[in-house]
Amino acid sequence: MVAEAGRTELSQYEGYRLDSVITKMERDIAAQGYHVSVTAEVDDYLGQYFELMTGFEARCREQDEGNWKELLERENLREIKFPLNETRDLARIKMDPALEGLAAELATNGYHGWNRLYDKMAGDMTVRWSDNGSAEDISLGQLAGKFYHADRQVRKDAFEKLTEAWKRRQALAAMALNYQGGFRLSLYKRRGWKSALDEPLRINRMKKETLDAMWQACGEGAQKLKPYIEAKKKLLGIDTFNWYDETAPVGASSSQFSWDEAWQFVLDNVGAFSADMRDFVILARDKRWVEGEDRPGKAGGGFCTGFPLNKETRIFMTFANTYGDLSTLAHELGHSYHNWAIKDLPHLVTQYPMCLAETASTFNELLVIDAALKQSGDSQERLMLLDQKMQSALTFFCNIRARYLFDMSFYRRRAEGTLTPAELSELMVQAQREAYGGLIDEDGLHPLFWASKLHFYATDYPFYNFPYTFGYLFATGVYTHATGQGGPFADGYRALLTDTGRMSAEDVASKHLGVDLTKPEFWQNSVQSALAGLEDFVSLAEKEYQGSPDK
């Protein structure tokens, strides 16, 4: 059910962000020559929005304590007290409003331009790919699909092509990354912010203690994945485990789902937990809010977008009758249900942080993958499903943590001056060594990951990494709590989603789960739950290996 879990990290999460939607739009209309003007127009609107927000923040800061408290006690403002206090607190630690307005205006025409330039550069890059005696130029997006091929030589060739392509562009990528980092650090210095983490932590409404506790649990959990890696190496018939082996498929599934069958599977298993969620899935199906046609020229991945004025959502995906497509449907319907749960709230408290944005989507994925495992009696199918669960753990414990460690070291070094491509590659290798702890062989690391991963270039979202792991483990913890509570927690689950835009991440967890996110216990329990299928995978893999004629 999560056959696409590893690869949707590359698409359906990114599709949730505005700039990625814009990028998709650019690609669709680039052939007509309009992409530059469309992006510029959108950037101009964003600049106007940020200018308005700067003025609003200034007005909040100007109010004295007495007037501010009186203001928030007005009946029409009580529900939005949290975001208003948050806005005022942020304004107090920013520069003078005139300087903030200037910084926002300059960012529109400069800082964010580096992100656009990177997207354009990456979007235009191609590699020469040979297949069945013929050769053609393919995009890096098309090349990414080769990393899921069963043939290791294909995956290796894809990795080498990717590396070669970014070697030719690494100087430009380093330039973009250095100037983006320099802009942020200069702005933080003017504001008096001491750490590059100050902004992303505020954006995610969470504490540094929470982040540290989460990464501590992930570091411990990563080492528990060693038996999984060894078992997978046996199945793949390899002696070393490289970067491009992480997504190598094992097991197989002959099961196919029609469009109607997929909807019914999601409906049955989501509905078994919550009648409210069942009713919503029926509504989304009957209203045809999901565009899932499999047709030529359609972009890959999937995303959910909301329309707050008419209180509806729409989902974009491609359904091709596989387990992975069913999982994507469940995932995006989770996002859609989250928006549905908050649709009647004031707009300011419908803006939940990214770290909580994957709660409902991952929750739905867990519901359907567990249902699939319970129903499946085929060893190859179970092996495939369990492998995808462990792939997810490997991604969130190690791959995402490596990105975080790289960002941390990059900003420390960038404060001293610009970094060369070679220095950036060395920082990336060091980060991967620490995050993977030997799970990947030394010769199998990815030094140019800093160049090829678009997340590092997202100017609207610094440290676009740790919210992924937070969302994965938080949703796992919510799921464990929910399944332990049984049916009565269904109402509590909707209430949890409803609060995601009007309190901190720590307060959401404390109120609805009774846990302290700043302590390791919650995260350790979530890691343990995420690894629940590890022993089954290892046992099943050993049986398959012993029965293999090539053993």
Instruction: Tell me how far apart the alpha carbons of residues 217 and 34 are, in angstroms, rounded to a whole number.
Output: 47
pLDDT of residue 416: 97
Please give the domain boundaries of the chain with CATH numbers for all domains: 1-16+256-375 (no CATH), 34-123 (no CATH), 125-132+148-190+197-252+392-551 (1.10.1370.20)
Question: What does the block give as tokens for 52?
Answer: 């308005």
As a whole number of angstroms, the distance between CA 306 and CA 502 comes to 18
Strands 312-316 and 303-307 come out as antiparallel
User: pLDDT, tens digit, for every residue of 151-169?
Assistant: 999 999 999 999 999 999 9
Give the pLDDT score at 12.
32
Q: Rounded to 5 degrees, what angle do the CA atoms 238, 528, 502 make?
A: 120
pLDDT band at 487 (very low <50, low <70, confident <90, very high): low
Q: What is the identity of the amino acid at 221? A: G
Average pLDDT, the chain: 89
| Cβ burial 432-451 (10 Å sphere, 16+ → b, else e) | bebbbeebbeeebbbbbbbb
Please state the rounded mean pLDDT for residues 400-408. 98
How would residue 11 be classed by pLDDT, with cut points 50, 70 and 90? very low
Report the range of poorest mean pLDDT among 35-49, 60-74, 537-551: 35-49
Tell me which residue has tokens 């991440």. 505
The residues facing 139 across adjacent strands are 126
> Which DSSP string corresponds to 422-475?
HHHHHHHHHHHHHHHTTSS-GGG--TTHHHH-GGGG-TTSSS-SHHHHHHHHHH
| Of 255-269, 475-489, 511-525, highest mean pLDDT | 511-525
Q: How far is CA 488 from the centre of its chain?
A: 30
- Cross-strand bridge partners of residue 316: 291, 303
> What is the band of 142 on the pLDDT scale with cuts at 50, 70, 90?
confident
